[in-house]
Amino acid sequence: MKHDPSKYIIMLGFASLLSLLSIVAFVSILQMNRTLDSMSNLVMITNAKITHANQMRDFLRLRGNVLTSITQTNKQPQPVLLTAKLDEYTIGYKQAQQDFKKFHISTTGRSLLNDVERLETISGDLTTHATELVMSNASRAEINVATTAANDAHDKTIRILTKLIALQETNARNALSDSVNYQKMAQTIIILLTLTSLLVGILISLFVLRETSRKNSEIRFQASHDALTKLINRKEFESRLETALEKSHTEGRVHALCFLDLDQFKVINDTCGHTAGDELLCQLTQVINKHVREHDTLSRLGGDEFGLLLEDCTLESAIEIAEGIIRVVNKYEFHWQEKVHHVGVSIGITPINRKTTSVTKAMSEADIACYAAKDMGRNQLHVHELTDVQVKRMHKELSWVADIQNSLKDNRFKLYVQPIHTASGKLPEIRMYEILLRLKDDEGNVSSPGNYIPAAERFGLMRDVDQWVVEQVIQTLHTMPNTDNICLFVNLSANTLSDKNFCNQILKLMDEYKVNGNSICFEITETTAVRNIRQAIDFIKTLKQTNCFFALDDFGAGMSSFSYLKDLPVDYIKIDGSLVTNLHSNNVSHAMVAAINEVGNVMKIKTIAEHVENEMTMLRLNDIGVSFVQGFHFGMPRPIETLRLSSVPKGVSEPTVLYNH
């Protein structure tokens, strides 16, 4: 099964969108925090630097003022006070200078600071010299020259400090401007990321809408089309047929409905495998579609059955189209594993007009006509006509199909047993009974298996019937206190024999109910065994491993079975009843029975003669040497439940006629 990449694209898109939104949020928060931190640090550092620069300038001014006040006074200053003041301001200046230098200083600021330090050194030296002149009572002129030189140095230093302070303010403004620019750039990035997120969201929405629309289209297609052939399915076909029928009723338009059933498809499906069968259906779909008109509707109804609605088509044109389909399908060569296979097609046709009452009725008529076409020899068409013999018979068989299905569901099938005796008329040491099947209707009437078994075989229900019989028999044996001296003969159909899984189901049931294989003998008809010789041999060998017995039923109906008898590991031969019935009056039948018995003796296979209805027949069979006999002369069929008792209870009513299925 292929993975749908759309969900991964959607997941990736939403992941990208969430990532972009996360980046937008992260960048926004980061930008805001960085801006706030940058501005806060900038303000703090700028204020500190300006403060320290102002302190340096103030200390220089104070030192200059002290020097001026000393030189202008006529009184002799106190040396200690003078020195203390000058030292205090000098120390304050130095501390402010050290604090200033702790911060980052630009190249220009570093140059100005170097000039300040150089001039401050000169200014300090001149101040010290002027102070010493004052302290030594030098001449006024000499003191004024020294003081003037010191003040000039102070003024130059203060002017450079003023430039340094102005530089800090300029740098602060530039830094703020850079922060503003960074913030604008971050905002631009956020806007671009937001727009990108919006675009991604729009693209995801458009993609989701497109994928949703595509998925809805796929769901609608899958709901109305067959997954294998891509043809419309039964539900959609019936809907279009309903529309066509409405047009027939309201507008008088005429259409045709065809049912197509492939012939020999099951053979290819079973021998080549389901993969080959699927490929064949796909190829034939294309072949048939090329042959019908563009506005016609071809549908796969199920399995190898197709429906074809021919709108605005007369019955004559429908027959012509159907005949063309039969020809192209019949000529088509299906190549598989270096082998060429051929199939045919049976087609049933019914007209759609104002007389057509319902879609269900039309489908039923086309279906019955198709089965009639298959019954007439396959690979042909049949038009539904209510007076046609084949259609009436198909109606009857279809009604039997419903009865069989309901009987299986409602447990209306009943099992009876008929005893098998020795040819001398005595009961054998091992009590042997053949299981007989009968069907009761709602009124309690018994229907002959000859009525419903053909329908079950035709419509593939015999496997279900056989399975029900085998389950009932095994469950009955499970409830019996002792099964060592009893053997029940159970008939199996051709459909069951060719089912590989049925053998495993029997083994599973026997193991589940702990039933011994020597209590069961499976009967296979001669024609079934000959037609499915390989399957019959495999089936028998598998179940014989559990000690089950096998009988070849209706032996002698076709004498070709002698050539196959040596290959079939059976334990009993049941001689066909048509030979036994005429035994006392027909020498040929007598000779054939004797020949069958002789072959059985040579192969050490016991013989059982069926349909023994009188004493004379029993004596003849005893003279021939037949091992066992079965028929109304020895016992009428009775319910299987009576096997739990040692004898048949008095008052048990038994049917006078009952047929083996």
Count other C-beta atoms under 10 Å from residue 494's C-beta.
18
Q: How confident is the model at residue 656 (pLDDT cuts 50, 70, 90)?
A: very low
* 333-388 per-position pLDDT tens digit: 999 988 888 899 999 999 999 999 999 999 989 998 898 888 777 788 999 875 55
* 94-125 per-position pLDDT tens digit: 888 888 888 888 888 888 888 888 888 888 88
Q: Give the class (CATH, top level) of 234-386.
A: alpha beta
* 19-64 per-position pLDDT tens digit: 766 776 676 666 666 666 766 777 788 788 888 888 888 888 887 7
Q: Is the pLDDT of residue 446 over 70?
A: no
Residue with the bigger pLDDT between 275 and 558: it is: 275
> DSSP 3-state assignment of 503?
helix
Q: Is the pLDDT of residue 1 over 80?
A: no
Quick one: tokens of 510? 């026997």
- Give the residue extent of every domain in the chain: 5-204, 234-386, 399-644
Which residue type sits at 445? Answer: N
What is the chain's mean pLDDT, rounded? 81
C-beta separation of 412 from 439 below 8 A: yes
Q: How confident is the model at residue 71 (pLDDT cuts 50, 70, 90)?
A: low
What integer is the mean pLDDT of 433-453?
74
DSSP 517: G
Residue with the bigger pLDDT between 200 and 592: it is: 592
CA atoms within 13 A on the CB side of 90: 15
- Burial bucket for residue 576 (CB in 10 Å: 0-12, 13-18, 19+): buried
In CATH terms, the fold of domain 5-204 is Four Helix Bundle (Hemerythrin (Met), subunit A) (1.20.120)
Domain 399-644 has CATH 3.20.20.450: yes
Torsion of the alpha carbons at 12, 17, 19 and 25, rounded to the nearest 10 = -170
Amino acid 388: pLDDT = 55
